[in-house]
Chain A
Amino acid sequence: AQSVTQLDSHVSVSEGTPVLLRCNYSSSYSPSLFWYVQHPNKGLQLLLKYTSAATLVKGINGFEAEFKKSETSFHLTKPSAHMSDAAEYFCVVIQMDSSYKLIFGSGTRLLVRP
């Protein structure tokens, strides 16, 4: 079975500094991985996805993530945080059975200080 673990429940950064949100995955197969973002009182928006093509994936709003098989990691990064990045971020893996359901991590809340 596939699973993801988000290593930090909360991350706080200052505006203009780098962002690192950590995610480790467990999968018997070559996984398909996603990062979704949820702004307050909003639905979930896809940031980026990894599907066994390039290991460095670029997403929207300047975010990117690097798939590292040796470390079973898929960390999300951004060089410079903006106040509008404050939200909850979910690392997600597809369960590779007949359901193809999404398995969500528990989420990381990103706080951006002025």
Chain B
Amino acid sequence: DADVTQTPRNRITKTGKRIMLECSQTKGHDRMYWYRQDPGLGLRLIYYSFDVKDINKGEISDGYSVSRQAQAKFSLSLESAIPNQTALYFCATSDFDSSTDTQYFGPGTRLTVL
């Protein structure tokens, strides 16, 4: 079984709809991250969480919110989806090591907002 799972894998929704993307991990890591990937831009950080009580904004948090329900679960919500939020979304986890902080990625969720 995969260590980092994301649901759904694909989603098509309409402008104005609320949508939630879910991430679960079995690696036992404290740190979890949400990124979005757009062609030619690499990945950009939306939100990150160092533990259940710690939530931090990344570089592109506007229009998104997150919830860390448990150590293993980190959800990303779009309260009112808009077309420019069409992207590939990745969840990642890490077990903090200040020198390396290797992050492990889920398979991604492809979101299309019409």
Contacts and interface: CB of A to CB of B under 8 A. Distances in A.
Contacts of B45: 99, 101-102
B96 A43 contact: no
B40 A100 contact: no
Interface in A62-114: 90, 94, 99-102, 104-107
A46 B104 CA distance: 8
A22 interface: no
A44 B4 CA distance: 11
Task: Tell me the interface secondary structure of chain A in the complex.
Answer: loop
Contacts of A101: 33, 45, 48, 58
A105 B58 CA distance: 16
B44 A43 contact: no
B99 A52 contact: yes
B41 A32 contact: no
A46 B56 contact: no
A46 B102 contact: yes
Interface residues of A, number: 22
Interface residues of B, number: 25
Contacts, number: 55
A34 interface: yes
A49 interface: yes
A17 interface: no
Interface of B: 4, 33, 40-45, 48, 56, 58, 90, 92, 96, 98-108
Given A99-B56, A104-B43, 16 more contacts: A32-B99, A42-B107, A46-B102, A51-B100, A90-B42, A94-B101, A99-B45, A99-B48, A100-B98, A101-B33, A101-B45, A101-B48, A102-B103, A104-B42, A106-B40, A106-B41
24 contacts: A9-B40, A32-B101, A34-B102, A42-B108, A43-B106, A43-B107, A43-B108, A44-B90, A44-B105, A45-B105, A46-B104, A49-B100, A51-B100, A90-B42, A90-B43, A94-B101, A99-B45, A99-B58, A102-B33, A102-B43, A102-B101, A104-B43, A106-B42, A107-B40
